[in-house]
Amino acid sequence: MKKSITKKIVAAVVGTMLFGALAATTAMADGQKVIKISYGLVKESGEGTGAAKFEELIEEKLGDKFDVQCYSDAQLGDDLKSTQAVAMGELECVITSCSPLTGMCSELLVFDLPFLFPNFDAADAVLEGDVCSGIAEKLEGNGLHVLGWMENGYRCLTNSKKDVHVPEDVAGLKIRTMENEMHLALWKELGAVPTPMAFSEVFTALEQGAIDGQENPISTIYLNKFYEPNEFVTVTNHIYSPKLFLISAQLYNSLTDEEKAIFDEAGLEASKVARETTRQQCTDYITNIRDEGATVTELTDEEHQAWVDATAAVKDQYMDTIGADLVKAVEDVCAQY
């Protein structure tokens, strides 16, 4: 009898100690909310630099409440998977290409139109203007709050087969594309064989010869060493790709007004740093890629025009899907630069 009472007392004491430890641990976690940022490129990329800047700003101003953690190289999932997790409130933040999200928000297809943005000033004016405010409202309805617009950059072609100058040169080449209907349509229109796949699978597919080429900005081509399996690089600049820096709307709406303002301000500053970094890399890395022994072809004005002409039909094909008004609004801004 006496032993069983002793056992019960010991069990009660141990249970209380364990509960107290758990409560303390939970209290620590509650004291600092963890904010995980998922992105697909390497830490040295523009988006990696932007994510680190956001982490610095939030921990400087709200470090007692939030612990920002950045996860590169699609460690937490590729663009679409991570964005879906953020929309569901299962993940806090993501930096993603717009192209895989067009099923969620068809207006984003406007950024897949070839040769729409004549230069970076036009891109900045659109990304910071009313056009993107409308898209942000649509995304809010999908559970996603826009903290800022970062940048993938102007997309360029790489391949393992030939030095490409004009559209006819890509006939028959198996070109990896993002999982996006307009990208598929564009390369099919040019006579290539478009092959959609997630970004994280591209390097291996190139190495194994499952595909002949891919298209991404110069900064991505260099940082992900695509010039190794693809010795031919053509600076087509055929599409300007922005990126979205998103936070769960559920999490954002749980913040105080002061916290929201700090998050929004940090998001804008981090996105500006990210865009500046990507642009500088896209300029500097052309030389780096040549130094690695790859052939880098920069188009003549005549060759550039041939690409513009050869891709024009894709725009007509998607005008209704995107919305003629939205396309015109973007073109009107771009016409000023």
Contact 138, 105 (CB under 8 A): yes
- What CA–CA distance (Å, rounded) separates 18 from 41? 41
Q: Which residues have CB under 8 Å from 67's CB, separation 6+?
A: 32, 33, 34, 35, 59
Q: Which is nearer to ligand KDG, 79 or 181 (CB)?
A: 79
* Rounded Cα gap, residues 52 and 68, in angstroms: 9
Q: Which is nearer to ligand KDG, 66 or 240 (CB)?
A: 240
Which residue lies nearer to ligand KDG by CB, 58 or 274? 274
Nearer to ligand KDG, 98 or 164 (CB): 98
Q: 91, 248 in Cβ contact below 8 A? A: yes
**What is the C-alpha separation between 33 and 31, in angstroms, rounded?**
7
285: exposed, middle or buried (Cβ count in 10 Å: 0-12, 13-18, 19+): buried
Q: In the block, which residue shows the tokens 């069990």?
A: 11
Where does this chain bind ligand KDG (CB under 6 A)?
40-41, 74, 79, 96-97, 152, 178, 199, 216, 220, 241
Q: Find the length of the chain.
A: 337
Least distance from C-beta 98 to ligand KDG, angstroms?
9
CA separation for the pair 274, 228 (Å, rounded): 26
Q: Which is nearer to ligand KDG, 157 or 255 (CB)?
A: 157
Nearest to ligand KDG by Cβ — which residue? Answer: 40
